[in-house]
Amino acid sequence: MSDSVTGLRVVRAGPLGLLQDAGRFGVRRLGVTQGGPVDLHAWAWANRLAGNAWGAAALEVTLGGLTLEAERDLTLAVCGADLGATLDDAPLACWRRFSMRSGQILRFAQPISGLRAYLAVAGGFRAAPVLGSISAVSREGLGGHDGRGRPLAAEDLLAVAPEAGQGSGAAEVPGEHRPDYEAVPRLALMPGAQIADFEGASLFAAFNRRWTVDDRADRMGVRLTGPRLHCRLTSMISEGLGLGAVQVPPDGQPIALLNDRQTIGGYPRLGALTPLACARLAQCLPGREVRLTAVSAERALDEYRRFRRLFA
């Protein structure tokens, strides 16, 4: 692309590095999924520190294992999980803006707290949008730095805006907006239309018992294990699925559907996690405990609008 220059080179690729803008919209009727950052909160703050408008593409780094070399002087920010990041082997604080000089090495090691870190660069990462979005969805082969949805691989180059700027505003995220990923999250769930079809004891269990994040967890969805939930409906005709929908297959173990979910599905649903509850869940490693708590759509909307005003 003519309006971009190489910003970073991948020295070593970790398990999963994907460019994510706000997501791919208007094409779900074709069976194309939403994509976008699974932790909207950390992604939005990384872009904000880098001085970018809402929706700029940032790099989602899952688990770590990624080494990047600056090909030019850059202004960046990292938010989300503490993946033991270092800059030329010196510890790099999370939730902060920082500078990289050409030739410096940024390394993400392994999860210390949380699961996914977001790296934003002033001016945003550049790539050709596919179906209107840069978001990488590997399963669909769409988007990302190569347009084919592939995760980062060694020697890949990440393009940035030529006039990158220095970022603007505060250089770090205020403490009250930094989640404690070690605390047990209470995930807000808006009850859905089939809630009354679940047995009373199952509903009590859903909102009062501990849930454990299963190792079957990815950008499509996160399976929770715990008490078996019983629903009078076992399957339904497939219908559209929103972000955060919590479906309960016949085995009674709920699955919270995230950004890369299938567009339609036929299991009964408890309801939907709020966007910020999805973001928090996306930072939970397998084995972590979570709780579910019911919230009205009105309250969830208030919370979401307050969140978005921070980035207006």
Partner 1 sequence: MAGRTLPRLEAAGLDGWLVRLFEAIDEANLPWLTALVRDCETAFGEALVDLVPSYTTLLVVFDPLALTPAEARQRLSAVLASLTPHDDADREAPLRELPTWYDERMGPELPRLAERAGMSVADIVACHAGATYRVYALGFAPGFAFMGSVAECLECPRLETPRKKVPAGSVGIAGRQTAAYPAVSPGGWNLIGRTSARLFDRDREGFGLLALGDRVRFVAVTRDEFERLGGDPRPMEAGR
The binder of partner 1 chosen from 78, 130, 161, 229 (CB under 8 A): 130
* CB 308, min distance to partner 1, A: 6
Output the six-digit token pair for 230.
């019983």
Helix (H) or strand (E) run with residue 160 in it: strand 157-160
Cβ(136)–Cβ(18) below 8 Å: yes
**Shortest distance (Å) from residue 239 CB to partner 1:** 4
The stretch among 31-39, 61-69, 176-184, 207-215 that binds partner 1 (CB under 8 A) is 31-39
Residues that bind partner 1 (rule: CB under 8 A) add up to a total of 44
Stretch that binds partner 1, among 58-66, 70-78, 172-180, 189-197 (CB under 8 A): 189-197
Contact stretch for partner 1 (CB under 8 A) within 66-74, 80-88, 218-226, 299-307: 299-307
Per CB under 8 A, 89 contacts partner 1: no
d(CA 79, CA 96): 7
- Concatenating the DSSP letter of every residue in 71-92 gives SS-EEEEEEEEE---EETTEE-
Does 149 sit near partner 1 (CB under 8 A)? Answer: no
Contact (Cβ atoms closer than 8 angstroms) between residue 279 and residue 54? no
- Does position 192 bind partner 1 by CB under 8 A? yes
Are the beta carbons of 273 and 281 closer than 8 angstroms?
yes
Amino acid making up residue 149: G
Q: What are the helix (H) ranges across the chain?
A: 40-49, 200-208, 275-281, 297-309
Q: Say whether residue 300 binds partner 1 (CB under 8 A).
A: yes
Binding site for partner 1 (CB under 8 A): 25-32, 34, 130-131, 139-142, 190-193, 197, 233, 237-245, 262-264, 271-272, 274-275, 297-298, 300-301, 304-305, 308
